[in-house]
Amino acid sequence: MTQNFDLMMANATVWTPSGPLDTSIGIRDGKIAGLGVDGDAQETIDCVGLHILPGIIDSHVYFREPGLEHKEDIESGSRAAVLGGVTTVFEMPNKPTTDSADALAQKLHLAHGRAWCDHAFYIGATTRNIEDLAELERLPGAAGVKLFMGTSTGDLLDADDREFTRVLAHGSRPVAVHAEDETRLQQRAGLRVENDPSSHPIWRDDECAMLATRRIVRLAREAGRRIHITHVTTPAEMAFLSAHRDIATCEVNPQHLTLAAEDAYPRIGTHAQMNPPIRSSAHRDGLWHWVRQGVPDVLGSDHAPHTLEEKAQAYPASPSGMPGVQTMVPVMLDHIAHGRLTMERFIDLTSSGPERVFGLLNKGRIAVGYDADLTIVDLKLRWTLTRDWLASRAGWSPFEDMQLTGKPVGTIVRGERAMWDGELVNRPRGRPASFASADLRSRYA
């Protein structure tokens, strides 16, 4: 019996759960309807020479809306995402604050009809909303709870073990954690050197990260609550977390796998400033060791845009953070081209990993019945990452002028093209993502 499809992706190398297959994908009603199938399709795209990956999920972005739209907004940030091959994003809750049902509803409203990719929003844990977290984390469109342990975040800062314990006691989904020790940060603030961003990792040193990671793992074990440590920067933390896999998962960022302090701070100054900081080449190489050992579960961009004017302020007045949602896929494809990373591990970090860690429904793999979220890449394309390719309102990247091998050339979101050959297609069609442990009802479904 001949099958009918809305879209057929033909003649590609498709990265399925069984591995790469030279096959086709039939898509119907926004879902993957068949692999290696024949039939009639309203549209067929010839993908000869291209690789089709499960849609890339970036579980760590800041889109700055409402209130800081001069840096980024949901439309511009999600546009950058799909131009970079990303099909789903989880947006962080600080700057602006998302700590209530009303704040979450406002973000979902702002994303409706404007977001190019699917999305979810974290709830920020504060001293004011702890009793409500179990309910808030289950709201449609909520990615979970985010807990900040060090000064990166203004009014979302929680610094007391009693408060951390209360957060962990309210709810059941994994709590995402920014692990830097606030007391040590305050004690070492005098180590910052005026107009010298290379002092940033001296202030926010290895022990600042390790103290917080040990502390939150201990509290999580006492509470019986799973945690997810974001942007791990030290090999020592990875070694420690490898012994606590029953309670803690973790994330690594492209910046910390690519940049090194010895080069980055002299070359790009405050553009290399982020929290936790870019550290030495020894740290970078150590992180790669643990990637190969399978410890990081997720790769996130930590897309945290600031304008060129803001970054031009003298350190330490300059804000920490850098854009990254658009550059995550091409930078990591270049690592694949140079043998530092396998495609299988990349898919594990960017698709299977987020699905597994966060309980994401219908995403993370190319399989019948799953959302037809696909990232199409040309692994052989050699190109230079230039500023005119970037869509973020920040207007810059720490990876500018890098010579790269591999580029995303297509982004399919629930069966429709959002980007093809570097151009936006159709209109913003992103919807809230769904999670296994959350309330699935949504007025935006």
Tell me: the pLDDT tens digits for 39-55?
A: 899 999 999 999 999 99
| Averaged pLDDT score across all residues of the chain | 95
Structure tokens given for 427: 């209109």
Beta strands 118-124 and 39-46 are unpaired
CA dihedral over 418, 322, 111, 88, signed as positive or negative: positive
Whether pLDDT at 159 is above 70: no
Count CB atoms within 10 A of the CB of residue 118. 28
Ordered by where they begin, the domains of the chain are 3-52+369-424 (2.30.40.10), 55-358 (3.20.20.140)
Question: Which has the closest alpha carbon to 158: 129, 192, 121?
Answer: 129
Q: Residue 443's pLDDT band (boundaries 50, 70, 90)? A: very low
Q: What predicted TM-score, i.e. pTM, was given to this entire model?
A: 0.96
Q: Residue 441's pLDDT band (boundaries 50, 70, 90)? A: low
Q: Provide the pLDDT for residue 39.
A: 85
d(C-alpha 342, C-alpha 351), whole Å: 14
Is 297 among the catalytic positions?
no
What are 203-241's pLDDT values in tens digits?
999 999 999 999 999 999 999 999 999 999 999 999 999
Whether pLDDT at 154 is above 90: no
Span 422-430, average pLDDT: 96
Q: Which of 118, 158, 302, 348 is catalytic?
A: 302
Tokens 């591995």, residue? 19
Question: Which has the closest alpha carbon to 90: 162, 173, 17, 181?
Answer: 173
Q: Provide the pLDDT for residue 38.
A: 84
Residue 285 phi, psi (nearest 5): -65, -35
What are 369-393's pLDDT values in tens digits?
999 999 999 999 999 999 999 999 9
d(C-alpha 368, C-alpha 362), whole Å: 10
Q: Provide the pLDDT for residue 353.
A: 98
Whether pLDDT at 351 is above 80: yes
Percent of the chain with pLDDT over 70: 96
Q: Provide the pLDDT for residue 95.
A: 77
